[in-house]
Every structure is written in C-alpha cells, then in structure tokens.
C-alpha cells in the first residue's frame, strides 16, 4: 500500500500525545444552497463511488504513517456537503475503515451532519449501530419563505418529521444550525424561529449571522448593495437578532461556550473545542485541512486532481506549512479567545514554557483598559468581555 509521509517536528505538547481528532469531508449535496461557499455540491455526485473508494484509501495511507500512540481517536466529524446524502452502507464502509486503521475510543464523540430532507429511519438505525452518537441538523430557519430564499429544499414541516424520527431512534446529542440576518427576514420572524426551535429542547444550537460570501448566488444578488427581490436586514436589525439570540437561549438554560455556539450543560461539541484549543487533527477527502505535529496542510480541492493524485499513489495534501513558535502562540490566543472560558495562563506556560504576560502582557493590559478583555483571578484566565465579543475580530488581530 502506498503511504504518505507526515512531516513536522515534535514539540512539548506532541510529546504528551493528546488524542487525535478526525474530519471526513463528504462533498455531495442534493442542491447547492444560495449562500454556501463550501467545497460541495450536486456536481460531484457522478464521482461518488470513486470518491468513497479513494477516501477510504487515503484514510488507510495516512494511518500507516502514524505510531500506535498517535492513532488514538476521541472525536470524528463527518462534514460537507451533506454526509447524509450517502447511502447508510457507504457511511458504514468509511467508518469500518477508520475503526480498522485507528483506535477509536469507546467513548469517542462521532458526529455527522444531516439535512432534514435526507433523514430516514433506516439511515438512523445504521448510524446508531456503527457508533455515530451526535447529529448536526441544518435547519437555518423555521420560516418556509426564508428557506426558499436560502435555496434550502426542506420545509419547517419536513424538518419536524425528521426531528421526530431522530428522537424516536434515541439520539440524545443533536445540534440544530440556525442563521440570522437573512434576506427578507424580520426581527419578528427570527424570534418565531427561535421560539419554535426552543420548544424542541435541542441540547445544542449553533447560531450564525449570514455572511455574503464571494462566488455564491447571494454574492450575485446582494453583494455591493445589490438586492434581488428581498433586502438584507439593516445593521441595527441584525444586531437586535444577535441580542435576542443571547437572551432567549440564556433564559432557556443554554450556556454560550463559544461565539456562535450554545449548549445545555454537558453537550458542548468536543470536536469543535479541539479546533479552538490547538488539538491535533487529520482531515480526509477533498480540500480537507489538517493540523498535525505543528504543521498545517490541506488536500487538493479540485475533484479530478484529488482523484488523480491518489490514483498515482501521490499525497493529495498541498500547501504544507510548519508553524513557528510565534505563530503557534498567536493561534493559541485568537482561537482560544473564541471560547467563553478564554485562555488560561497555566495552559499557555505548559505549552510554550514562557508566561503569557511575558509574551502578551502589554497587549492584554491595553485590551483590558479598552474593556475588550477581562481577567479571571480564580481561573487565571483571560476572556472576551461582552463588548469584546461584539468586536472579536478587532481583538483577534491584535495577536497577529
């Protein structure tokens, strides 16, 4: 079997051999949403069988280059795209390869993204059987007109049927994705979406404000002040939606543990927390990113080239870059500050063998004086204030 050499230098953190996370990219969708700039779409479906075979091969090749200690996996995330458009046996096949090549802990969090239109009882039963224990459902809005504008192919009523199937099959760890600031969306319609979703008591909610991304249909329709039938909410309305999200979810017992993520106690997404805390992960599939042994690399994002590279026994990973100590510190700060817990001085010292204040003391003081950061004496940690969260990008750039 052809193998890939995973380069990079071991640092102090690597020597501790923290468990590994895996990301599996499934680029297939029934239809491309109007706001989506992800590496996905229905155009890839014709290559589905070849892609799955190649993906499984890549998983095996990467695993071959790891030591036994490096293969211990505690989170897996199937993202896309829409992983649930695959047949259940296809997801099962990928999971079997992962479990053959890696040591997946019994308590591992294994997540899979689903769209409401692709949920079936048969798929859910197979997911349960192969160990998938967390689902993430892309609802976005409970308003059918807003869903049409987004290019979604499900309705609120269809979502409810899927939700009931998920609950009936015993899945207890489920996330619902929501979006605000949509074309034609009002504060009232967004509040109705929040009310309807909260009545379902999902353990986790991700809430994002729409960003009009380059290359999307929305960019053609709404970019640079253009309006196609609907208008984007004003900045003031978007702000009120943001405040409403915080208030309504807090009143229902949800803890905001990251800028865009809320959960009931104990239901935080462990996989995503790994990204924010600098944990090592390997990404498999088209355009998938990895961070391993202090090195970042990303797979080829052209389907034909990805398949050809793998067919020729070549590594599909491109743009390998080893982070300097300075860059690792910067990432520790701006990724860690996304979490409401912030960054702990003790963790910074354990990782870099230098105190946080010695490296960033002046910046921390200035940001504290500007009421953008606050210090928790008990935890020995720095975190964003409410004002700091609102202008988080301005804070993050201070550490670059």
Residue range 168-196, pLDDT digits in tens:
999 999 999 999 999 999 999 999 999 99
Kindly report, residue by residue over 202-213, the tens digit of the pLDDT: 999 999 999 888
Domain boundaries, the chain: 12-276, 326-400
Q: Mean pLDDT check: name the lowest of 28-37, 160-169, 277-286, 297-306.
A: 28-37
Residue 334 three-state SS: helix
pLDDT(271) > 90: yes
Q: Kindly give the residue spans of alpha helices, DSSP state H, lying in the chain.
A: 12-15, 48-64, 88-101, 121-130, 144-150, 156-168, 187-198, 217-222, 235-251, 270-276, 303-311, 325-336, 345-352, 356-369, 386-390, 392-396
Q: Which residue has the higher pLDDT, 17 or 223?
A: 223
Residue 207 three-state SS: strand
Partners of 281 in the β-ladder? 21, 291
The per-residue pLDDT for 225 is 67
- Tokens for 203, please give them: 């353990």
pTM of the model: 0.93
The per-residue pLDDT for 43 is 73
Residue whose entry in the numeric block shows the structure tokens 């030591």: 67
11 band by pLDDT with thresholds 50, 70 and 90: very low
Cβ neighbors of 44 (< 8 A, separation 6 or more) are: 27, 28, 51, 286, 303
pLDDT(86) > 80: yes
> 68-90 as b/e, with b when 16 or more CB fall inside 10 Å?
eebebbbbbbbbbbbbbbbebeb
Fold of 12-276: TIM Barrel (3.20.20)
Asked whether this chain's domains 12-276 and 326-400 adopt the same fold, the reply is: no
Cβ neighbors of 371 (< 8 A, separation 6 or more) are: 385, 387, 388
The per-residue pLDDT for 8 is 54
pLDDT(110) > 60: yes
Listed residue (122, 139, 39, 51) closest to 87, CA to CA: 122
**In this structure, are residues 323 and 306 in contact, taking their beta carbons and an 8 Å threshold?**
no
Strands 20-26 and 255-258: unpaired
The per-residue pLDDT for 6 is 61
Specify whether domain 326-400 bears CATH 1.10.3470. Answer: no
Listed residue (136, 20, 1, 13) closest to 75, CA to CA: 20
Residue 6 three-state SS: coil
pLDDT(124) > 70: yes
Q: In the predicted model, what is the mean pLDDT of the chain?
A: 93
The per-residue pLDDT for 12 is 41
Kindly report, residue by residue over 327-376, the tens digit of the pLDDT: 999 999 999 999 999 999 999 999 999 999 999 999 999 999 999 999 99
Percent of the chain with pLDDT over 70: 94
Cβ neighbors of 150 (< 8 A, separation 6 or more) are: 33, 34, 35, 140, 141, 179, 182
Residue whose entry in the numeric block shows the structure tokens 């961070």: 291
The rounded distance, in Å, linking the Cα atoms of 76 and 114 is 15
pLDDT(228) > 80: no
Listed residue (78, 79, 81, 77) closest to 36, CA to CA: 81
């Amino acid at each position: 079997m052809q193998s890939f050499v995973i380069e990079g230098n071991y640092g102090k953190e690597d020597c501790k051999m923290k468990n590994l996370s895996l990301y599996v990219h499934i680029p297939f969708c029934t239809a491309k949403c109007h706001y989506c700039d992800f590496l996905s779409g229905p155009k890839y479906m014709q290559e589905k069988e070849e892609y799955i075979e190649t993906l499984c091969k890549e998983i095996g090749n990467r695993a071959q280059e790891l030591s036994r200690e490096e293969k211990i996996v505690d989170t897996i995330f199937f993202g896309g795209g829409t992983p649930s458009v695959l047949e259940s046996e296809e997801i099962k096949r990928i999971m079997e390869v992962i479990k053959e090549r890696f040591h997946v802990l019994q308590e591992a969090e294994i997540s899979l993204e689903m769209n409401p239109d692709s949920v079936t009882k048969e798929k859910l039963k197979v997911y349960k059987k192969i160990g998938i224990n967390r689902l993430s459902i892309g609802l976005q809005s409970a308003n059918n007109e807003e869903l049409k504008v987004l290019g979604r192919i499900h309705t609120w009523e269809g979502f409810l049927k899927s939700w009931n199937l998920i609950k009936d099959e015993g899945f207890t760890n489920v996330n619902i994705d929501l979006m605000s600031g949509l074309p034609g969306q009002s504060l009232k319609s967004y509040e109705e979406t929040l009310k309807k979703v909260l009545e379902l008591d999902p353990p986790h909610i991700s809430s994002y404000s729409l960003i009009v991304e380059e290359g999307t249909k929305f960019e053609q329709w709404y970019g640079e002040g253009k309006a196609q039938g609907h208008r984007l909410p004003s900045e003031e309305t978007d702000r009120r939606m943001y405040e409403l999200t915080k208030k309504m979810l807090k009143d229902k017992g949800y803890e905001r543990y990251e800028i865009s993520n809320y959960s009931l106690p104990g239901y935080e997404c462990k996989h995503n927390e790994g990204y924010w805390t600098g944990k090592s992960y390997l990404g498999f599939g088209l355009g998938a990113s990895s961070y391993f042994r202090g090195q970042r690399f990303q797979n080829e994002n052209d389907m034909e080239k990805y398949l050809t590279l793998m067919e020729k026994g070549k590594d599909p990973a491109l743009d390998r870059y080893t982070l300097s100590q300075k860059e690792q510190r910067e990432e520790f700060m701006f990724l860690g500050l996304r979490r409401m817990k912030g960054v702990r001085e003790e963790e910074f010292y354990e990782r870099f063998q230098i105190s946080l204040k010695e490296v960033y003391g002046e910046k921390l003081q200035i940001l504290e004086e500007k009421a953008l950061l606050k210090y928790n004496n008990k935890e020995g940690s720095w975190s964003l204030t409410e004002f700091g969260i609102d202008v988080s990008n301005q804070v993050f750039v201070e550490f670059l």
